[in-house]
Every structure is written in structure tokens, then in C-alpha cells.
Structure 1
Amino acid sequence: MGVCPECRAATYQMRQGKLREEDCLRCGWLAIVGADGTCRCCRAAVRLGEDPAWLRAVLERRLLPAGRPLQLALRMDGLRLKTLPLRQTRPLTTVKLPSWARGRPAELQDDPCVCVTEVPGQLGLFAPCPRSFTREHGTRIRGRTPVEWPIVLAELKAIAAERGVGETWLVHTGDGARLALASRPPTERLVSPEALVDLPQMRPTVQLVLQRAGLLARPRPRLVPGWWSKGRGSCRDCLAWTNGNDQRCRDCQMWGHTHADGPCHRCGRGLPLRDGHCRRCLLLLAETEYDLDHIALEGGDQLWFGGPYAPHLKTTTNRAGEQTGLYGRRRLQTKRRIAVQTSRATAHTVSEHLAIPGQLLLFHALRDWSRLDGRPLPALTPNAEALLADFTSHIRARGWTLPGNQASLSALKFLVAHLGADAPFHETDVRLLAHHPNFAAPRVINYLRAIGLLVPDEKSDALLATARRYADEAPAAFQDGVHRWIDVMCNAGTRPSLPLAPSTVHGYVRRARTCLNIWHTVGIDDLRAITADHITTVLDTLTGETRKTTATAVRSLFRALKREKLIFRDPTRGITLTVAIPLPKALPDERLVGALDLLPFARDKLSLTLAAVHALGVHDQRGLLLDDLDRARGRLTVRRAGRLDRTIYLDELTHQLIKKWLAERHRRWPSSTNPHLLVTARTSADDNHPKVHPRAISKPLSRIGLQPGRLRMDRILDEATHTEDPVHLIRLFGLSPITAMRYVRAAHPDRYRPLPIAP
């Protein structure tokens, strides 16, 4: 049989029925062909570009005549050619070759090599061996007609009518029935049910057909042929069944090479020993010490299979290379660990520190959870198990995955195991537990707050806390003065005043502490000893915006101390700085061309449009609410604390981007309750409903070289170039009069003279 060079895997697939052996449509050779009807060498040649005409014909669903040149490929280790079929199905063009060209007769054939006809009544010399039929074998004997075939065909047609199947089913099932009839021994008329296992497909249906036709024999009892059992038995050492021809199995032979003989302490036989036991006794001890499978017998031992099914004993070695212990790795160690965990779980008791509902605290002390690391958890109470199950349902209802929230589940389980689920939890205890790397607190805190089992902490601003820490780190002579300064800025001084924002307080103290450290270095230990020269000396070492902000912070410090009557005079009263006021500048036109197409996500496109078209900064975009969006009227209200609200009239582009963003938000986070218009994956799942981080808006724009502040400035400046009316800018963008005039002067510098009192 001439075939084109194929690998063994392909030949194996052919025997299993996945490939077929017929004439290649391209070269015409009898070979193993794929789904497109070509052999492997032809597919390699086409994919390497050696026959573009054939590739074009395949793409156009045409079939060229066979007999095209064939280029053999050189097979090398490590080099694999891509020989997948060009098409998964045959070309649609129905071009059939004549029977003489395909090398097969047009009529049905009967291959005498398949199920050779034997002499009737002749006895077999050997027991019948298992066969491996394929669909190709059934095709090759379609011309064979056994005596009982008309009866089988009638039953096949009856079943096909009952099931409503077509001609294809009838052909394939008929091939299987024909193979079953052809494989019968010459001395038997009925088909043995054990022989149906050799069929490639349709085994239950063929069995039903033969049963209806009365051609199915009764199943025989299970027999082991003599040639199979000859020379095989049990190993004389471990008694494993289905041993090879040797008297000892391979594992026992290897065991005997590395261990000395002696009487076993358990069975008393003279065999190779380790730790006083033979290999069989070691396996039994390792398997039955923790009898999870209930295989330990009273007065007897459990036998096992040999060969590949035999249990193996993995020996453990210490650092010196000596074999120690009866246990190995993997299965036996896993079995031992499960048994130990099960025994510990049954021995656990309820925690002795369960919180009692309604009990008042004598004093509050911080818990040290690190002392409980490595200890087994106490048993859960029924209320604790119900709370943990409800938290699991809460996670699934929010659309989160359990593996991604395993740290939160572990944290809540740890809390309810030690404190119970009857009394509320202190937020401080939950946050202290989150210091452990295997625990997470935010979602546990939000869940406990939602169900009313959380005692919240007193809220403190992080920026103010940092400013207080800066004051504590200042030189000892200046600490009281800095704390009094912070009190004044927070409206906690002796006289009432307007409080400043926490960010402003933090920035002032951060700038001023540099000056305090320098003054302490030169030997000044009292704020009343600071003079204007000391301040000027420090400011002269700074430049730009840093010099301006430092001077503002120092001026605020000494004004507050003078107000609190802690110093006699303000040394910053006569200090002036020359500050350059930057004018707004327009962006180049090429920076904005195509910027919207560079952003892949709808939220980033919406942020760019709000900044470039409606002049909304990062702060205003973070505060936008869903309730302030009126899509029916095309309006969006911008709420600003301490100032009038601003109404934006949406254009067509902004309206479409908002529509796309709302659809994407509902698709990604359908259960989110965050009221803000712009959300992220983190803020949408947080029950505290925070605003998005400023970097979530500015970072995508910075990747394409833009900034929201510069876009806002460019939009206002562009509007100012078309009008000289500052009132128009105030109404359109919600600016202050001073800011509006600054943009008008920058847009029309030739129409305004410099102010006479300007620095």
C-alpha cells in the first residue's frame, strides 16, 4: 500500500477512525487524507507557498485535476510544519473524478481481507483475540451479504422509521451490523454480546437490532483465557495479585536491592526490612493508621492489585540523606493531614470570649490578633454560621466571585468564631484584623454596617491627622505653637474664624515645617525670636511656586500666633514677594485632533468631552450625580458647595457619550448603588459610595498627552476670543468676576492697558 510519509500519530488516528485512507485530490496518490481530501505532504507544500494556484482554487471553492507535483518535506526533530487541513469540510464544488481515476470500483465492494471467511464447523486453535474495527472496515465490506442480512435490514428500517432518522444513519448502522455478523466464529450462528465492544460506533443500536432479529446470543460468564493466566499470580513478598512472570513484583525487587533481610516484627516472615517491617507491612501501617476508607480488617489484611495499580511507598529523607519515617509524600501525607484536620474539627469547642449583647465596656482596649495566628478556630455557633452564609449570599448577589473575596470571608469567619454573631463588632477590631495579609476588611465593614452589626469609629480626617503628626515631629520648642496654629485654622482657637479645608491645613504645615527645622538648626528655640531676616534667608533659598507657597504658610503661622497673643509682633508683615501671574494659554490645534479616537473606553471619552467642550475640571466631574442628569431635556446640573449651581446644556456628542457610558455601567455593574455619574470597579462596589479618584480621570488623558485643567483653560480662552463680555463667561462657565476678567485680558491683550497698581 503506497502512502505518503506520515507521523505515527496520524497513523494511530487513522486506525481510530479519525482520518481516512484514499486518493489525495491534489497528487493522486493513495494516502492518509484530512478533512479537505489532501495528504500531509500536499498541505505542507501549499502552506509553504509552492503551489499558489491550488491555494487560490481552494479559496474559490474549485477543484483542480489531480496529478500536481509533490514536494517531499524533510522531517527534523524540533521542527514542526503546519499541516492542518486547508478547509474543515470538502470544497462545495461538486467535481467528481471517474471511478478509474480514483482507483476504486463504482459498485459496492467486498474486501476479503476484512473478517476472512472461515470453513464452517472448523474449531479455532487459539482463543479469539479482541478486534479493532473502524468505519473504514465497514465501508470495505458493504458488498458482503450474509444469510441473515435481509432480516437485519428490515429491523434497521423499522427502527429508523421509529426514530425518524435518515439514510445516513441507516448506512452507518448497517455497516456496524454487517461487521458484527461477519466477525462471528464459523461454529456459531448468533452474535456474542461481548463481540459488540469491537464495533467503532452504534453499539447499543446494533445490539437492539440483533436482539429483535433473534441473532443475539446470551451473555457468557466472565472467563480468563489460559494464555492470560499462565505464569502469572501473586507476588510472594507483598501478595499483590496480577503479578508478572517473575515470582516477585518490580517494586519488591527494587526494595530487596536496598534493604537487608530479617524477620518482620509484624508478620514474622524473613524479608527485606526497614524499621523492622517488610514492604507489605509498611504499606498496611501507612494506609490504616488513619483509616478514612475503613479498609482495616480485624484479624486479616487487605490485599491489593499489582502492576500499575499497586500502591507505592515514598520514603522520606532527612538533611543527612538518611531514610526516616513510615510515611511518604502526596497521597499518604494528604490522608494523614485530612485525618488530623477532621480530628481537630471534632475536638473544637465554642470560644470563651463570645461578646454578650447589650453588655457595656468598662474601657476600650485595642485587640492584638497576632497572638491567635496558627491556632485552630473555635467552633461556630448557629448564629455565626447563619451570618457567614448570609455574607456569602451577599457576595454572590453583588456579582462578585468567592475566590476573589476569600480574604473577606476568612476575616468574617475569624471574627464570628472568636466573638460570636450576637453583639455588634467594633470597626477598630475589624481594621486591626486586616493588618494580617490573609484578611481583608473593607467589604466586611460595609456588610456589617448594612445589617446593623457595626459600631463605627469616630471619624477623623486623614489630612488633619497628618498635620498633627507633622506638629509632633517638629522641634520641641515649636510644637505647642504649631498645634495652636492648627487649632486656629480649624476654628478651635480663642476667637471664632472661618475654618480652612483639611487639604489647605495639611499643605501649610507641610511647607512650614521645613522652615522650622532650619531655624532650629541655626540655634533658634523660640518662635518669638524669629525676625524678618530669618524668614527672608529661608525664602531666598527657594524658587518658583515653592517660594510662594512657603511664604504663604509662614505668614499664616505668625498671623495665628499674633492673634492668639503668643508673640509680640508679626515678622512677616513687611515681607513682599514678586510673583509672576501666569496667563492662560491655548492648546495647539494638532493636540486635539483625533484625541477622542485614541481613548478606548466610554468613560474616558466622556471625561474628555466634559473638559474640552463644557470646561468641567476634575473636581466638578467627580461630584456629578445621576439624579442631576436630565436626559429628556438634555441638561446636566453641576453642584458646587458655597456657590451657585451650574446648568450644562448637552450637545449631540456629549448626549451620545453619556448614553454609551450608562449602558456600559449597567452592563458591568448592574447592582451598583453608587449615586455618582462616573464610577470605577472599586467605587461601584463600595457601599460608602465614594467619588472616583482624581487619577481615574486624569491618567487616561495624560496617556495621550492631555490634562483636564489645560482642556478647561483652552475651552474658556477660546470662548473669550469670540466675546469681550466677562458676564457671558460668568454665566456660561460659572466663573468668578476676577477669573472672567483674567481670561478676557488674556484673549484681548491689545485692548486692555496694564493696571497702574499691578506689581
Structure 2
Amino acid sequence: MGGVSPNKSAASCAECLAWGVLPGSCCRACYTFRGLHERGECSACQRVVPVNKGYCRLCWLQALHDAKTAGHTHVSEPFLHGLRHQQLFFARMHRDFYRLPGRQRLGKRGHRAAAAPPATTAPCQPATGWVQLRLPFDSGRDFSRFDRRRHADLSNPTLLRARQSARTLAASRGWSRWVAKDVDRALVILLSSHTGDDKIRFTELAPALRHHGLTIERTIDVLDLVDLFHDDKSPAFDTWLDRKLDALTPGIRGDVEAWLRALRDGGPRTRARNPETAWSYLNHIRPLLLGWSDRHGHLREVTRQHILDATDTLHGSRRHITLSVLRSLFRHCKKTGTIFRDPTTRIRPSRVEPTAILPLQADDIREAINAATTPAHRVAVVLATVHAARSKDILTLRLDDIDLGNRRLGIAGRIRPLDDLTHHVILEWLDERRTRWPHTANPHLLINRLTALEAGPVSRVWVTRAFWGLTATLERLHADRQLEEALIHGPDPLHLTAVFGIHENTAVRYAQAARQILDTAAEQHNPGSP
């Protein structure tokens, strides 16, 4: 092979995909082709490789093969434009073919065979013999049988680039050496035989990494950083939508699915909503849609009387929300032209009085405090109880928002004094945080074993799960603190807005609730007063 080690194993050329013992990442012909032409996107195979007149070397060889099969001596544009498949070959096959016994040599000392007479039919006929066609499906790659001793190629350029990016990412995010080692093993499995710029798909890497017990999320972070990852798993929203709409008739299902996707994605004149909004909307009206599917084949058959019959049994906020969701659905159908008339027109939902805000009992608060068994949950309880922090504010609280030296705390953009209790629980949590994750680079105050390797906040479920089923949840503790402020300092909405930074309407609501409680207490204290 001229300078190639006899002990070197065979591989595939990174550019023409030829199989053989190669001197490097590509064969000698592609190495010469690379020095003569610039990289670009091939017009036929769409790969980004060195191209000549818009086509890579592999496509030129395939077009030459098709031209000779059709009786032509050179490649013309119709053969290049008509490429729909590739015939793979061994390295040096095109050069060594003419050295076989019985073949005439080509080159300066040889002579070319006489050109075959042109075909009398169409000047550029496609190949009529046997050709290697594309597979009608994408079989994907199987990394589960990887053996490091036999298959690892630590000199692969793509692998070297990814391992360097992994070291940089590990240093910036404070990965432990065990996580960094797992990611390195995963990259060796996925990229040892990688050629070109092909993306590694989630459905290919997930089974292999699970089989070897390696981390999937951190490996995806590295592959995404070097632009080698393609997320082909089904979105959770689509899976949920198929499951929820499976029992509906096709006519109703199509309209409901289009409406829910418009809610999530938005439109020319509508803003995109949170996916949780679509989930909540469908859960409210799904029983009605299932009942209508038993009797109707399309939403255009639903009348005003059907809407009234379905909502007459509902009361209060449930009736209000159901009518609002139905109005949103039928307005979308009317806008898209799938129904003739909107049956919800002039059906006004009844006004719902806001729920009365009542103070929590001491036993309820004590039960929530006892449920906070970890330093992180104790921080959450204190922030909600003392500083009226919402669960979202607790999740997004960063280390920069806490000034222990000056005893100041920033919550939701407002600076508050740091009391002794809050100072104590935060110090307790910071000690545990430093002990468990000493090298983490996550800037948020609350982290767990997953987010310690990332830069994002913990999930709402992780913070609130300890208080599920209790009367005093984090949101109730937050509301109770604001109500307590109104009871102690008087039902003044301006004071509540200045202290907690809440909206004026919310402040008025808490002030009214406090005034009602104070008036009731005064009446009970003086029952004989007019």
C-alpha cells in the first residue's frame, strides 16, 4: 500500500466512503482531490466535502460509471443531475482494475481502447444494468456491540474534537471526574468510527449508553456543543396529544388537534401559549368531547343547546373555565372555516367571585415545617413563610441575589433585609451544597444531583413534592404571609405593593380580605355594638 503499516486495520474513507487500508482518514485519491478543490455542499448527495463543479468525487465516479454503462466515454451533466444512488467500492479499485491480467494499461506508456460507437437511441440513457439502489428505510447505527479493544479509534479527528470540547465543558460546569470519565467513554463509543459531519441521533445513542450504564444527558450536551446531535425522539406534547385524542372521532379529533397546536405554536395574530395551557384546556373539556364523539361526527353538528346542556350541571369556576375553553375552541374552528356558526356566541359565563383568603392555622404551618426534612426544603419554607416568595421565585433565586455580609436578599427583583432565621437556614444549605458538589458551576441557590452538572434551575416538582397533600403548601404559605402583613400593618394596598412588589389588583384583594377578617373579629369582640 506504499507507506501504510501492514498491521493497520481497514476503514472507510471519510469522503468517498471507499473501504480499505487507508494512509489516514481518507484514501490517497481523495487526499489529492482535497488539495485541488475547496469544500462545499455536493449538489447530489448533499454532503459537505471537497467538490468539483458542485459535485464530490464519489458522485463523479458514480456518474462516470453510469455514463460508461450507457455507452458514453465521458461524464455529461444529465448523468450528474440524474444521480439517485451510490455504488460503493474498495480503495484503489479504480486504479488497480486496469492492472489485472488481460487488461490494457492506461497512462503515458499505454493507450486507451477505442471508444465504443455512441448509442443510436437517446443520447443520455440511464444505467440499464444492475446498480446499488438506496435502501427504502434508514437502518440507523447500532453502538450496543461496541468493543473498545477492537473498535476504538482514538485518532479519529471527530473524536479528538469532541473530547476536547468535553474537557472544556466539564471545567466550566464543575463535573466530577466520574462524570467526565463516563462522558469520555460514551464519546469513544459513538465517534470512533465517525466520518464526515453525520449527526448522532437520540434513538441511536440512548440504547447503547443505557446498555453500558453511561450518562445520556451529559453526552448529549457535548455532542450538541460540537453540532453532532440530532434529537429525533417524539416530542412529549405529540405523544400526550395522540393518547388523549385517540378515542375521538376523526372529524372532531382533527379540529381539536389543530386548535391545540395553534395554542402551543401561536399564529400570525396570536401569541404562543405554554404547553401546560393546552394540557389544562383539553383536560377540562375532554369528557364533553368524548360524549359528543358518541353522537356526532364533526363539531359543526354541535349546537347551542348542546353547549347549554353540557354546562348546566357545572357551577362556579368550573362552569366559567369550561365555557371559556369551549369559546376558544369554536372561535378557532370558525376562524379556520371548519364550522358554519359558533354555538358559544352570546353564552356568557357567570361571574365567579374570588375565593376567600383565610389565614392558616398554627398546626398547618407546623406540619409544613416538619415536612421540610432537608436543608433545601427548609430554605424553601423560610423563603415562602418569611419573605412571601412564590415557588417560581425560589427556583430562580441565584447565589448573586444573596449578600450574607450586608444581610440583604433579592427576591423577584426587590431587595429585602436578611433576618436571622433566613440567614441561618441559607448558611446550613450552603454548607451542604459545598460538601456535596464542591466543583459545581450552577449559579442558582437550590440545586440537586442533576442540575449540579448543568446551569439551569431545579424543577418545581422537586421543590414542592415534600408538601404535596398538606394544607400549608408553598403557595398557601406565600399567601398567608401577605395576608399577615395586611393584618398587622393595616389593610393598605399601597403598603403591600411597596413591601412585596405585587400587582395593585392583588394588593387590593388581600387588603379587602384583611379588612373583612378584622371587621369580623371586632364584631365578635363587641357583640352588642350596632
For normalisation by structure 2, the TM-score amounts to 0.62
- What CA deviation, in whole Å up to 9, does each residue of 1:652-703 have, x standing for no partner? 22123223323332222122121222111111113xx222111221123459
Q: Which residue of 2 aligns with 1:690?
A: 456
- What CA deviation, in whole Å up to 9, does each residue of 1:729-757 have, x standing for no partner? 1222222222222222222227899xxxx
Q: Which residue of 1 aligns with 2:176?
A: 400
Whether 1:678 aligns to 2:446 is yes
Whether 1:419 aligns to 2:194 is yes
- 3-state SS in 2 of match to 1:671: coil
Q: Which residue of 2 aligns with 1:617?
A: 390
CA contact (8 A) 1:629 1:637 kept: yes
CA contact (8 A) 1:411 1:433 kept: no
Distance 1:488 1:661, change over 3 A: same
- What CA deviation, in whole Å up to 9, does each residue of 1:389-415 have, x standing for no partner? 76997899745364x788755543321
- 3-state SS in 2 of match to 1:538: helix
Counterparts of 1:431 and 1:660, CA distance in 2: 40
In structure 2, stretches of 5+ residues that fail to align are 1-5, 18-24, 26-38, 48-136, 521-530
Distance 1:544 1:418, change over 3 A: farther
- What CA deviation, in whole Å up to 9, does each residue of 1:303-348 have, x standing for no partner? xxxxxxxxxxxxxxxxxxxxxxxxxxxxxxxxxxxxxxxxxxx999
- Corresponding residue to 1:502 among 275, 284, 288: 275
- Within 5 Å, which residues of 2 pair with 1:104-123? none
Counterparts of 1:604 and 1:552, CA distance in 2: 37
Counterparts of 2:231 and 2:485, CA distance in 1: 49
AA at the equivalent of 1:699: R
- 3-state SS in 1 of match to 2:12: coil
Greater radius of gyration (CA) = 1
- Corresponding residue to 1:607 among 380, 383, 389: 380
Whether 1:538 aligns to 2:310 is yes
Counterparts of 1:484 and 1:419, CA distance in 2: 40
Counterparts of 1:461 and 1:733, CA distance in 2: 38
Counterparts of 1:594 and 1:471, CA distance in 2: 41
CA contact (8 A) 1:351 1:419 kept: no
The structure, 1 or 2, with the larger RCO (C-alpha pairs under 8 Å, 6+ apart) is 2
- Within 5 Å, which residues of 2 pair with 1:253-272? none
Q: Which residue of 2 aligns with 1:657?
A: 425
Q: Which residue of 1 aligns with 2:357?
A: 584
AA at the equivalent of 1:700: A
Counterparts of 2:153 and 2:408, CA distance in 1: 54
- What CA deviation, in whole Å up to 9, does each residue of 1:501-521 have, x standing for no partner? 222123213433432222110
Counterparts of 2:309 and 2:8, CA distance in 1: 70
In structure 1, stretches of 5+ residues that fail to align are 1-345, 640-644, 754-759
- What CA deviation, in whole Å up to 9, does each residue of 1:102-158 have, x standing for no partner? xxxxxxxxxxxxxxxxxxxxxxxxxxxxxxxxxxxxxxxxxxxxxxxxxxxxxxxxx
Distance 1:351 1:475, change over 3 A: farther
- Within 5 Å, which residues of 2 pair with 1:9-158? none
Equivalent pairs: percent with the same residue? Answer: 26
- What CA deviation, in whole Å up to 9, does each residue of 1:13-63 have, x standing for no partner? xxxxxxxxxxxxxxxxxxxxxxxxxxxxxxxxxxxxxxxxxxxxxxxxxxx
- Corresponding residue to 2:297 among 525, 536, 547: 525
AA at the equivalent of 1:718: E
Counterparts of 1:544 and 1:349, CA distance in 2: 75
Counterparts of 2:223 and 2:164, CA distance in 1: 11
Q: Which residue of 2 aligns with 1:446?
A: 221
State the aligned residue count.
395
Distance 1:587 1:572, change over 3 A: same
- 3-state SS in 2 of match to 1:647: strand
Distance 1:467 1:483, change over 3 A: same
Counterparts of 2:496 and 2:161, CA distance in 1: 57
User: CA RMSD, aligned part only?
Assistant: 4.2
Q: Which residue of 1 aligns with 2:250?
A: 476
Distance 1:608 1:473, change over 3 A: same
Counterparts of 2:398 and 2:233, CA distance in 1: 24
Distance 1:477 1:602, change over 3 A: same
Name which of structure 1's ranges 727-736 and 472-481 shifts more when overlaid on structure 2. Answer: 472-481
Distance 1:468 1:623, change over 3 A: farther
- 3-state SS in 1 of match to 2:453: coil
Counterparts of 1:353 and 1:744, CA distance in 2: 75
- Within 5 Å, which residues of 2 pair with 1:269-668? 349=9, 351-352=11-12, 362=45, 368-370=140-142, 373-374=144-145, 379-384=151-156, 398=174, 400=176, 402=178, 408=183, 411-419=186-194, 423=197, 425-428=199-202, 431-433=205-207, 436-438=210-212, 440-450=215-225, 452-455=226-229, 457=231, 462-463=236-237, 466-467=240-241, 470=244, 474-486=248-260, 488-490=262-264, 492-493=266-267, 496-522=269-295, 524-540=296-312, 547-573=319-345, 574-577=347-350, 579=352, 581-593=354-366, 596=369, 599-639=372-412, 645-668=413-436
Distance 1:568 1:391, change over 3 A: closer
- Which is richer in helix? 2
Counterparts of 2:408 and 2:291, CA distance in 1: 54
- What CA deviation, in whole Å up to 9, does each residue of 1:282-312 have, x standing for no partner? xxxxxxxxxxxxxxxxxxxxxxxxxxxxxxx
AA at the equivalent of 2:12: E
Distance 1:353 1:567, change over 3 A: farther
- 3-state SS in 1 of match to 2:343: coil
CA contact (8 A) 2:146 2:189 kept: no
Name which of structure 1's ranges 693-702 and 423-432 shifts more when overlaid on structure 2. Answer: 423-432
AA at the equivalent of 1:667: T
Counterparts of 2:370 and 2:270, CA distance in 1: 50
Counterparts of 2:140 and 2:515, CA distance in 1: 67
CA contact (8 A) 1:598 1:704 kept: no
- 3-state SS in 2 of match to 1:613: helix
Counterparts of 2:435 and 2:372, CA distance in 1: 19
Counterparts of 1:435 and 1:581, CA distance in 2: 52
